[in-house]
Structure 1
Amino acid sequence: MRQPFLGTHINKIDAKGRVSVPAAFRQVLAEDAFKGVVCFPSYKVDAIEGCAMAFMTELVSSVDDYELFSDEQQALSDVIFGTSSELAWDANGRIQLPPDLLEMAGIADTAAFVGMGKTFRIWQPEALARNQAERRAQARDKGLSLRLPGARPRSDA
């Protein structure tokens, strides 16, 4: 299993729109044949989705589970693959985020890279703080928890 994307890393964007991919994320991405990231607009939140090319291949397989030319298959293909950008990093580990992605996410001079396990998101820092507060409250209010693989259900009897 691939090492997960973890943590939050805030990096400055230079005048040319370049931003350094966090070193920990580059280590995860280095396992891929493509030396860079794939980014596309999130259709759930105002942030940029990022992943390895290998994960994009997994997404293709998942979308292929839908009937060819079905509304679901077409919608997912449009919002994921049709808007994706392959961004190779330079010798300094920087990528140049496309202006349309920066605008969609409201990112100007600072980007927050947030690990999400198999993927990561790039946020405008204040928008990230608001989203994290909302998600924390949502998880608490719903009493969300995880069962570890192999763990037996608890018996309260």
Structure 2
Amino acid sequence: MFIGSFKYSVDSKGRVSIPARFRKYINPEANDTFFMTRGIVQCIDIYPQDYWKQEVLQRIDQLDDFDIEESIFKRMLLELAAEDKLDSQSRLLIPRNLLEFAAIEKDVLILGQNKKIEIWNPDIYEAHKKENEKPYAEIAKQVMQKRFK
């Protein structure tokens, strides 16, 4: 389970370290391999290989290529997607096109999102939080009631 937030930097080659607290939750089935793609908002989503194959690909496979909206979504999700394996220093190489999509230059905010990891430009993350500034209690009530009726 990936939880918490960490401030890191991307090196000149586009590599970012995966926090030690996250590494201990990587299943052996993931083989230290991750899939990266654009997030629903302006961030990078990173999925361990086992979760990507078991959950994400199953959903992608269910999309109808003859439905315009579904095929557009699939194309947009996969066009920037990449795969990488942790190097000996527990870093992932983030492709330049994903760094550009997320407007990441040097500093990054790494957020645990339970089964996936998000990588943000810290300034964009703060702006995103301000744009969606509802009290936590209000959001919790709305989301939890909707999901568990």
What's the TM-score bracket when you normalise by the shorter of the two chains?
0.7 to 0.9
C-alpha contact 2:8 2:107 (8 A) present in aligned 1: yes
C-alpha contact 1:19 1:94 (8 A) present in aligned 2: yes
More helix by share: 2
Matched, 1:123 2:114: no
Determine which of 5, 13, 16 is the counterpart of 1:16. 13
Deviation per CA, 1:57-80, whole angstroms, max 9, x where unpaired?
212211333334322442232122
TM-score (norm 1): 0.78
Relative to structure 2, which stretch is displaced further, 120-129 or 59-68?
59-68
Unaligned runs of 5+ in 1: none
Aligned to 1:51: 47
C-alpha contact 2:33 2:85 (8 A) present in aligned 1: yes
Partners in 2 of 1:138 and 1:69 — Cα distance?
41
Identity %: 23
Aligned to 2:72: 75
Partners in 2 of 1:74 and 1:108 — Cα distance?
31
Determine which of 97, 104, 125 is the counterpart of 1:107. 104
Partners in 2 of 1:79 and 1:87 — Cα distance?
19
- Deviation of 1:29 after TM superposition, in Å, equals 2.4
Determine which of 62, 66, 70 is the counterpart of 1:65. 62
Q: Which amino acid aligns with 1:29?
A: I
Determine which of 3, 9, 25 is the counterpart of 1:6. 3
**Equivalent pairs, count:** 146
SS of match in other structure, 1:81: helix
C-alpha contact 1:40 1:80 (8 A) present in aligned 2: yes
Unaligned runs of 5+ in 2: none
Greater gyration radius: 1
Q: Which amino acid aligns with 1:55?
A: Y
CA RMSD of aligned residues (A): 2.6
